[in-house]
């Protein structure tokens, strides 16, 4: 292969990948920006749970709504998308041994995104954008708020374009043989969904900006909701695709997870691209702008094809881990591979917690409350944030944190600081978030509204008295929130200390545990030389359906039963309402 | 013939479009079947079920809708509570409710077991209609009239919570719906009701 001399590479001590230094700097700067946004969002989160926990009720009303907007923008947009930009730079260059396309333009895009996010922060903190994250017109914010979002989106779209250009470069310069790795394929899926999402973002924010400066007389509130959610929900589908890609990556790094079948996994990613963006409809099921046929087709991603994709990954990810472990000799019983897995490796524990909470909690609640009729009982109650914290925080953010424990030594070449804390961090964060999600979901099922400062209704003309159980659930949410924020701040402390003051590490001593280096790097899960023969034997037809991955079959069966129970229970609850048609 | 053992980080040389193992094929088939059940439930509920967000939906000028609601309130007014008219339309009537910062107007008095066409819209910004304690939730969008055929199934003194952020007074926006049994009020604003309402 020929590589122009002006692109200096270094070779990774652990993986042998050629790492382009210009790309490496872009990974770093985007990851750092993501962590800073996470810090702002986490502090906001603490203030919010301590306000919604009615016994504490910390913030005054104005600041509650203001901080709620800040939390939404920092977590769902700045943290997540900056991190995804880092993932794209990493997957396009490091994993493909390639140079990046136009790294200087990458810095321009980063600057644009940074400027946009600073504009949004300035408008929100100064009280000129008290319109919450969704900014539904006719609520109006300062024009610079909308302009800030536009800058950020244009920058992100630019990076996505550079990612595709990098793929072309890698292919043309033959930096790899055959088809690109599955993880890069997943990142590419996220990038395609990002284009769809950001185009909708432009379609909604540009007219709204023009309206805010008086060039357009009005923005239709319902059309806005349709287009905004094509941005707002679809951006969470970028997360899903990126998260699944990271699941495959962390599985490979921590336990040598194998890809069972490329056709199945890649087809599932294609289903995401084709159908997942229809989920804008989840937010519009009890809206007056759309009829039943539109709602049914769209909310179900055209007959639940994206759910099918997630259920496929929900099988192939754990099954790949199981098979990878079995091939390396962890063959005892149904779950010996799980029992003997590296639970002290924060990359592994984060992966498992992400898969389990995303699937069992986020996935099952999401499909159920996104059902046209069931949504009548759920829309805008606390059940909605109960669901999406399980997907975006316990799922995506947890997976990104797990990936960070590997990126620190591999890309930043630093040991993970506060190593003992790092080993505990995924558990602390995940358990705290699970309490938040449970508390919100159960409180929401009593009709407690989301985005509401005072459910004691002390200033309202008519009294509303929620069941005393609601106080209990909100306390669970509050305590869980404190735990989860502690977990998030621990992660930030670990990341900042490692990046800026961490001990340099370039060589990993194989076979000897190193303080601050995840187990997958010091004890790489390498397959034995006869892995292919073992694999053939496990897949032999006479071993039947349970041949290669019996443990995973049990796990997915449990999942399906839980799914069915929750789904039909919610239909039953629906029948207790008024007759509505 | 299986592909060579490899992870998701490895490029895949050669042809990878190969048959999946039986376990995956069966799981994909089960998942697909379940997806079809999920999909079928929604049309099925339109046909057999009692709760559907269909309604009759049309665009409306917010000011005209507000005027229509005021006329409706005058026509069927039977009392007053906290400055708001209590409005008791006859069964089968077109019932108008409007959300405006930060109030639901008017107070509705409906009969259990009778069908009404409940119109929802807003004079200003988005609001959220959330009937407490039943948790019946609908989005209320300015410029759109959402007319739902509703039949209250139990008597009680109910509340309408606004559950869409509509401005700084959002948390004070609470309305009232009274459902009576065959014309006799089982719960009014002087007597605590079993459903969580009560005097202040």
With an 8 Å Cβ cutoff, are B150 and A580 in contact? yes
**Range A246-262 average pLDDT:** 96
**Range B102-116 average pLDDT:** 97
Which residues of chain B does A257 touch, with a Cβ-Cβ cutoff of 8 Å?
7-8
Query: Looking up tokens 């007597």, which residue turns up?
Result: B191
pLDDT tens-place string over residues B84-101:
999 999 999 999 999 999
For residue B186, pLDDT beyond 50: no
As for how many domains chain B has, the answer is 2
**Range B41-53 average pLDDT:** 96
Query: Predicted confidence band at B68 (pLDDT cuts at 50, 70, 90)?
Result: very high
State whether B34 and B104 are in the same domain.
no
For residue A3, pLDDT beyond 70: no
Cα B197 to Cα A2: distance, rounded to the nearest angstrom = 77
State whether B162 and B96 are in the same domain.
yes
pLDDT at A7: 56
Which of the residues B2, B4, B7 would you substitute to probe the A interface, choosing the one with the greatest number of A C-beta atoms within 10 Å? B7
State whether B118 and B169 are in the same domain.
yes
**Range B20-26 average pLDDT:** 91
H-helix or E-strand spanning residue B118? strand B116-122
Which residues of chain A does B26 touch, with a Cβ-Cβ cutoff of 8 Å?
545
Which of the residues B28, B128, B135 would you substitute to probe the A interface, choosing the one with the greatest number of A C-beta atoms within 10 Å? B135
pLDDT at B185: 46
Q: State how far the alpha carbon of A117 is from the alpha carbons of A77, A149, A393, B198, in Å.
A: 9, 7, 20, 47
For residue B90, being part of any structural domain is answered with yes
For residue B185, being part of any structural domain is answered with no
pLDDT tens-place string over residues A43-101:
999 999 999 999 999 999 999 999 999 999 999 999 999 999 999 999 999 999 999 99
State whether B72 and B124 are in the same domain.
yes
Out of A262, A457, A571, whose CB is closest to B16?
A262
> Where in the sequence is the domain holding B13, given as residue range(s)?
1-52
B191 shares contact with chain A (CB less than 8 Å): no
With an 8 Å Cβ cutoff, are B9 and A447 in contact? no
pLDDT tens-place string over residues A311-350:
999 999 999 999 999 999 999 999 999 999 999 999 999 9
**Range A280-301 average pLDDT:** 94
For residue B33, being part of any structural domain is answered with yes
State whether B32 and B72 are in the same domain.
no
With an 8 Å Cβ cutoff, are A446 and B164 in contact? no
Query: Predicted confidence band at B3 (pLDDT cuts at 50, 70, 90)?
Result: confident
pLDDT at A542: 85
Exposure of A525 in the CB half-sphere (CA atoms within 13 A): 32
**Range A2-11 average pLDDT:** 63
Closest residue, chain A, to B159 (C-alpha): A464
Q: Tokens in use for A95?
A: 């994993």
pLDDT tens-place string over residues A48-62:
999 999 999 999 999
Cα A246 to Cα A269: distance, rounded to the nearest angstrom = 13
For residue A578, pLDDT beyond 60: yes
State whether B44 and B142 are in the same domain.
no
pLDDT at A545: 84
pLDDT at A276: 86
Which has more pLDDT, B126 or A540?
B126
Question: B71 to chain A, minimum CA–CA distance in Å?
Answer: 23
Q: Tokens in use for A523?
A: 């004890």
pLDDT at A11: 84
State whether B65 and B39 are in the same domain.
no
For residue B193, being part of any structural domain is answered with no
Which residues of chain B does A261 touch, with a Cβ-Cβ cutoff of 8 Å?
3, 18, 20-21, 24
Quote the DSSP letter at residue B153: -
Task: Residue B53: name the closest of B129, B148, B132 by CA.
Answer: B148
State whether B37 and B71 are in the same domain.
no
Out of A260, A380, A539, whose CB is closest to B130?
A380
Task: Residue B99: name the closest of B197, B179, B174 by CA.
Answer: B174
B53-112 residues touching A, CB cutoff 8 A: 53-55, 57, 82, 84
**Alpha carbon A288 to chain centroid, angstroms:** 30
State whether B91 and B148 are in the same domain.
yes
Task: Residue A201: name the closest of A230, A237, A236 by CA.
Answer: A230
Q: In sequence order, which residues have a C-beta less than 8 Å from that of residue A256 and are 6 or more positions away?
A: A324, A325, A327, A328, A524, A525, A526, A527, B7
Query: Predicted confidence band at B198 (pLDDT cuts at 50, 70, 90)?
Result: very low
Report the alpha-carbon angle A23-A354-A135, nearest 5.
75
pLDDT at A15: 80
pLDDT at A546: 83
Cα B98 to Cα A285: distance, rounded to the nearest angstrom = 20
For residue B189, pLDDT beyond 60: no
With an 8 Å Cβ cutoff, are B153 and A579 in contact? yes
Which residues of chain A does B135 touch, with a Cβ-Cβ cutoff of 8 Å?
377-378, 381, 445-447, 577
For residue B98, being part of any structural domain is answered with yes
User: Is the ipTM here above 0.95?
Assistant: no
Exposure of A454 in the CB half-sphere (CA atoms within 13 A): 19
Q: Tokens in use for B105?
A: 């107007």
CATH number of the domain at B159, please.
2.60.40.420
For residue A178, pLDDT beyond 80: yes
Question: B140 to chain A, minimum CA–CA distance in Å?
Answer: 7
pLDDT more than 70, % of chain A: 99
For residue B9, being part of any structural domain is answered with yes
pLDDT tens-place string over residues A243-253:
999 999 999 99
For residue A112, pLDDT beyond 60: yes
- Kindly write down the DSSP assignment for every residue of A2-43, as one continuous string: ---TTS-EEE-TTT--EEEHHHHHHHHHHHHHHHHHHHHHHH
Query: Predicted confidence band at A498 (pLDDT cuts at 50, 70, 90)?
Result: very high
**Range A19-33 average pLDDT:** 94
Task: Residue B7: name the closest of A315, A526, A98 by CA.
Answer: A526
Task: Residue A87: name the closest of A192, A175, A183 by CA.
Answer: A183
Cα A485 to Cα A501: distance, rounded to the nearest angstrom = 23
Query: Predicted confidence band at A525 (pLDDT cuts at 50, 70, 90)?
Result: very high
State whether B72 and B128 are in the same domain.
yes
- What are B146's strand-pairing partners? B57, B120
Quote the DSSP letter at residue A414: B
Question: Taking all residues of chain B, what is their mean pLDDT, rounded to a whole number?
Answer: 90
Task: Residue A301: name the closest of A328, A280, A325 by CA.
Answer: A280
For residue B196, pLDDT beyond 80: no
Q: What's the sign of the alpha-carbon dihedral A238, A243, A245, A249?
A: positive
Query: Predicted confidence band at B193 (pLDDT cuts at 50, 70, 90)?
Result: very low
pLDDT at A303: 86
Which residues of chain B does A311 touch, with a Cβ-Cβ cutoff of 8 Å?
27, 31, 34-35
State whether B17 and B94 are in the same domain.
no
Closest residue, chain A, to B128 (C-alpha): A380
**Alpha carbon A89 to chain centroid, angstroms:** 17
Question: Taking all residues of chain A, what is their mean pLDDT, rounded to a whole number?
Answer: 94
**Range A449-478 average pLDDT:** 95
Which residues of chain B does A289 touch, with a Cβ-Cβ cutoff of 8 Å?
57, 141, 144
pLDDT at B1: 54
Query: Predicted confidence band at A541 (pLDDT cuts at 50, 70, 90)?
Result: confident
Cα B150 to Cα A580: distance, rounded to the nearest angstrom = 5
Q: How many other CB atoms sit within 10 Å of the CB of residue A396?
A: 25
Per DSSP, the three-state class of A214 is: coil
For residue B8, being part of any structural domain is answered with yes
Query: Predicted confidence band at A429 (pLDDT cuts at 50, 70, 90)?
Result: very high
A413 dihedral zone (left: phi>0; alpha: psi -120 to 50; beta): left
Out of B6, B164, B197, whose CB is closest to A380?
B164
For residue B190, pLDDT beyond 70: no
pLDDT at B197: 38
State whether B100 and B175 are in the same domain.
yes
For residue B112, being part of any structural domain is answered with yes
pLDDT more than 90, % of chain A: 90
Which residues of chain B does A95 touch, with a Cβ-Cβ cutoff of 8 Å?
9
Query: Predicted confidence band at A10 (pLDDT cuts at 50, 70, 90)?
Result: confident
**Range A214-226 average pLDDT:** 96
With an 8 Å Cβ cutoff, are B23 and A577 in contact? no
**Range A231-253 average pLDDT:** 94
With an 8 Å Cβ cutoff, are B133 and A447 in contact? yes
B52 shares contact with chain A (CB less than 8 Å): yes
Q: How many other CB atoms sit within 10 Å of the CB of residue A480?
A: 22
């Amino acid at each position: 292969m020929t590589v122009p001399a002006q692109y200096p590479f270094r070779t990774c001590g652990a993986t042998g990948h050629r790492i382009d230094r210009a790309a490496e700097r872009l990974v770093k700067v985007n990851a750092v920006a993501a962590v800073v946004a996470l810090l702002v969002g986490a502090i906001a989160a603490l203030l919010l749970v301590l306000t919604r926990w009615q016994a504490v009720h910390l913030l005054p009303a104005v600041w509650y709504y203001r901080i709620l907007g800040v939390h939404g923008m920092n977590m769902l947009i700045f943290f997540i998308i900056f991190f995804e930009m880092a993932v794209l730079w990493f997957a396009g260059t490091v994993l493909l041994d390639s140079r990046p396309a136009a790294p200087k333009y990458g810095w321009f895009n980063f600057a644009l995104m940074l400027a946009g996010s600073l504009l949004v922060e300035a408008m929100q903190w100064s009280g000129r954008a008290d319109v919450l994250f969704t900014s539904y017109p006719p609520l109006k914010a300062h024009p610079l708020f909308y302009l800030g979002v536009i800058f950020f989106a244009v920058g992100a779209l630019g990076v996505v374009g550079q990612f595709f250009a990098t793929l072309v470069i890698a292919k043309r310069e033959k930096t790899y043989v055959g088809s690109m790795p599955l993880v890069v394929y997943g990142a590419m899926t996220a990038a395609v969904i990002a284009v769809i999402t950001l185009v909708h973002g432009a379609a909604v924010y540009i007219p709204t900006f023009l309206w805010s400066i008086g060039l357009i007389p009005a923005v239709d509130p319902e059309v806005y909701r349709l287009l905004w959610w094509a941005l707002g929900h679809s951006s969470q589908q970028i997360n899903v695709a990126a998260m699944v890609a990271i699941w495959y990556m962390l599985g490979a790094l921590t336990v040598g997870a194998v890809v069972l079948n490329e056709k199945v996994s890649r087809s599932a990613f294609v289903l995401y691209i084709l159908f997942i963006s229809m989920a804008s409809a989840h937010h519009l099921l009890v809206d007056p702008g759309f009829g039943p046929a539109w709602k049914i087709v769209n909310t179900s991603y055209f007959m639940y094809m994206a759910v099918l994709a997630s259920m496929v990954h929900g099988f192939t990810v754990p099954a790949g881990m199981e098979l990878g472990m079995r091939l390396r000799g962890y063959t005892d019983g149904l779950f010996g591979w799980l029992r003997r897995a590296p639970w002290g490796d924060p990359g592994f524990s984060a992966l498992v917690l992400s898969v389990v909470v995303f699937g069992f909690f986020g996935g099952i609640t999401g499909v159920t409350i996104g059902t046209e009729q069931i949504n009548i009982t759920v829309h805008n109650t606390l059940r909605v944030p109960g669901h999406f914290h399980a997907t975006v925080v316990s799922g995506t953010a947890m997976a990104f944190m797990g990936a960070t424990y590997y990126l620190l030594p591999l890309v930043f070449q630093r040991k993970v600081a506060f190593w003992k804390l790092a080993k505990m961090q995924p558990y602390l964060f995940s358990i705290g978030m699970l309490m938040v999600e449970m508390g919100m979901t159960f409180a929401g099922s009593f009709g407690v509204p989301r985005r509401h400062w005072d459910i004691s209704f002390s200033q309202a003309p008519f009294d509303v008295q929620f069941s005393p159980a609601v106080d209990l659930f909100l306390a669970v949410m509050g305590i869980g929130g404190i735990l989860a924020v502690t977990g998030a701040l621990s992660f930030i402390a670990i990341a900042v200390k490692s990046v800026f003051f961490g001990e340099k590490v370039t060589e990993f001593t194989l076979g000897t545990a190193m303080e601050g280096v995840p187990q997958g790097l010091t004890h790489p899960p390498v397959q034995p030389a006869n892995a292919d023969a073992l694999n053939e034997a496990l897949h032999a037809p006479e071993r039947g359906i349970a041949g290669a991955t019996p443990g995973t079959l049990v796990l997915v069966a449990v999942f399906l039963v839980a799914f069915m129970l929750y789904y039909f229970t919610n239909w039953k609850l629906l029948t207790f309402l008024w007759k509505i048609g | 013939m299986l592909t060579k053992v490899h992870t998701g980080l490895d490029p895949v040389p050669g042809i990878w479009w190969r048959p999946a193992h039986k376990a995956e094929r069966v799981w994909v088939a089960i998942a697909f079947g379940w997806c079809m059940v999920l999909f079928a439930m929604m049309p099925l509920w339109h046909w057999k079920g009692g709760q559907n967000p269909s309604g009759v939906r049309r665009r409306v000028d917010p000011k005209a809708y507000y005027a229509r609601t005021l006329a409706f309130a005058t026509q069927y007014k039977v009392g007053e509570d906290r400055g708001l008219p209590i409005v008791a339309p006859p069964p089968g009537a077109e019932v108008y409710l409007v959300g405006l910062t930060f109030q639901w107007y008017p107070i509705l008095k409906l009969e259990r077991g009778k069908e009404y066409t409940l119109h929802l819209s807003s004079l200003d910004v988005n609001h959220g209609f959330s009937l407490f304690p039943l948790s019946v939730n609908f989005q209320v969008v300015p410029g759109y009239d959402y007319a739902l055929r509703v039949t209250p199934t139990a008597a009680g003194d109910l509340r309408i919570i606004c559950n869409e952020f509509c401005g700084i007074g959002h948390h004070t926006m609470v309305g009232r719906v009274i459902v009576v049994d065959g014309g006799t009020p089982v719960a009014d604003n002087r007597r605590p009701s079993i459903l969580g309402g009560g005097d202040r």
